[in-house]
Structure 1
Amino acid sequence: MSAFHDEVELEDFEYDEDTCAYYFPCPCGDRFVITEEDLENGEEVATCPSCSLIIKVIYDKVTPPPGGGRGGGPQKGSGPQRGSGPQRG
């Protein structure tokens, strides 16, 4: 069994559309990473490529729609939404 450095909600990660991956700062100075494909496959461990630390990613798993089709993981672009606060004006 792995010992997690921390448990972090997916919404706290930064999503990069170019790499289809989520990133979160690591204490070593690099970043933990987990890809959209990893999440779609049910993976919930983000790793740091520079050190041995791992974190558990907390997220709502989406079940596939009845009759098949793509689903089963977070939807593309489900990273933190910028500017989604209350509207003023």
Structure 2
Amino acid sequence: MDTEQLYRELTEDYAACVRNIAIAAERASGQELIITDEGEEWRIVNYGAAEDDWIFCHLASTTRGRHQKNGWYPVQSGRWIEAATIHAAITSR
């Protein structure tokens, strides 16, 4: 049995469980998670609501952005990300 299946059996709210584990993992390591969505790499800046198997995330691009007077300003996005994608990023560290 893989960990995703185990989480689903232990809790009805898989996405909230993954969100909480991701937050704990980031605090423990001091590094933000990097995920790939629509062929682009994104850094997860913050987590929002968790519904069904989706988590709303504030993302910052690792590749796109612009230089400003005070440094690099990445393209940012807010979107729903599948909990399985975030779970895969946690386990691949």
What's the TM-score, normalizing by structure 1? 0.29
Kindly indicate whether structure 1 or structure 2 has the higher relative contact order, using CA contacts under 8 Å at least 6 residues apart.
1
What's the TM-score, normalizing by structure 2? 0.28
Higher helix share: 2
